Amino acid sequence: MTKPLRHLALTFTLFTLSNAIQAQDVSARFIDDIPVHYIYASVLGTGFYDLSGKKIVVARLPFASKKFNAPPAGSQWRFIFPLAVGYENMGEDNDFEMWLPSELLSVSMVPGLEYFYQPRPNWLLKPFIQVGLGRDYVQHETTSIAIGGLRSIGNLYDGELWDIAVGNSLQWAGEELQHKEQYTSFSLFEFGMNFKRKLPVRVLNRQLNMSFYTVWQYFYNQQNARYPLVKPVDLENLYQLGFSLGLQRPYSILGVNVDTVSIGLSRGEEGYAISFGTGFPF
């Protein structure tokens, strides 16, 4: 397989996953120096991490149930159960085979509950909480994981041609190695803006729109208590620019409603990330 075809196959695979699992975002994070992969992978998504001194690929699939109605009227909630599988890859850097597994090294599952509350017609709040476990098959250790926070998104402007939305989140995530005094935690603040333009084009009998968005992720209160001492995590800022195409009304593909696909580029102190997802990630 030639290199362009490999890149096309990888893009199509990630594009398909981003729609099929009904998630907000599926990110491919190329950040090589994060030694505590469980909670960072839960937030940052698929990518390269460090497990016991060995670079591995973590493939994160943020599965979620359908939404269920809840009081007060108009509110909803859903179960979320992201699965992350860490493995040693087969190929070299910049090769399609770098995504192919050769040995399973870790598995983590962090189920939880996400609540949708709309205090105003143009403002949506989404508090969530997750608790789960991660298993390291290199050191034969189990880690407890907890994540919680609040996401929100609101419409600043809803015009005939342009819509402007703002999103933010505040999260805390922590992990503790069972039977050992080793833990890692961090807080995360996110802020983003999305500029959507309605286009005079119809696809599948639906009006097409395009969006440009930007997101800032700030990591703080990072705690790293590990023995023996490993390289501490020093990830502070990530900046993302994204582009998306969407339909005015969702279109069903194999029973899954799809209305937007997106691609984004993140930059930070430790590297960069290419993200394939389903729009503005809030």
Q: What is the pLDDT of residues 70-114, one digit of tens each?
A: 888 788 999 999 888 888 776 655 556 666 777 788 889 999 999
> Quick check: 4 pLDDT over 50?
no
**Global confidence as pTM:** 0.77
Q: What is the pLDDT of residues 245-262, one digit of tens each?
A: 888 777 776 666 677 888
In percent, the amount of the chain with pLDDT more than 70 equals 74
Residues 151-159, mean pLDDT to the nearest whole number: 92
Residues 130-156, mean pLDDT to the nearest whole number: 91
**Pair type for strands 68-70 and 112-120:** unpaired
Query: What pLDDT is stored for residue 53 in this prediction?
Result: 65
Q: In the numeric block, which tokens belong to residue 129?
A: 């909480």
Q: pLDDT averaged over the chain?
A: 77
Residues 41-60, mean pLDDT to the nearest whole number: 75
- Cα gap 280→152, rounded to integer Å: 12
Better pLDDT: 25 or 184: 184
Chain-centroid distance, C-alpha 25: 5
Q: What is the pLDDT of residues 190-201, one digit of tens each?
A: 999 999 998 888
DSSP bridge partners of 133: 109, 144
Per-residue pLDDT band at 16 (split at 50, 70, 90)? very low
E strands, the chain, are 25-31, 46-51, 54-64, 68-70, 75-89, 101-109, 112-120, 123-136, 141-158, 162-177, 182-203, 206-225, 237-253, 256-268, 271-277
Residues 260-267, mean pLDDT to the nearest whole number: 82
Residues 211-227, mean pLDDT to the nearest whole number: 83
Query: What pLDDT is stored for residue 19 in this prediction?
Result: 34
SS3 label, residue 177: strand
Q: What is the pLDDT of residues 170-185, one digit of tens each?
A: 999 998 888 777 788 8
> Quick check: 63 pLDDT over 60?
yes
Query: What pLDDT is stored for residue 92 in this prediction?
Result: 59
Any idea where the domains of the chain sit in the sequence? 3-277
Per-residue pLDDT band at 12 (split at 50, 70, 90)? very low
User: Which CATH code of 2.40.128.130, 3.40.50.450, 2.60.120.10, 3.40.50.300 fits the domain covering 3-277?
Assistant: 2.40.128.130
> Quick check: 147 pLDDT over 90?
yes
Per-residue pLDDT band at 232 (split at 50, 70, 90)? low
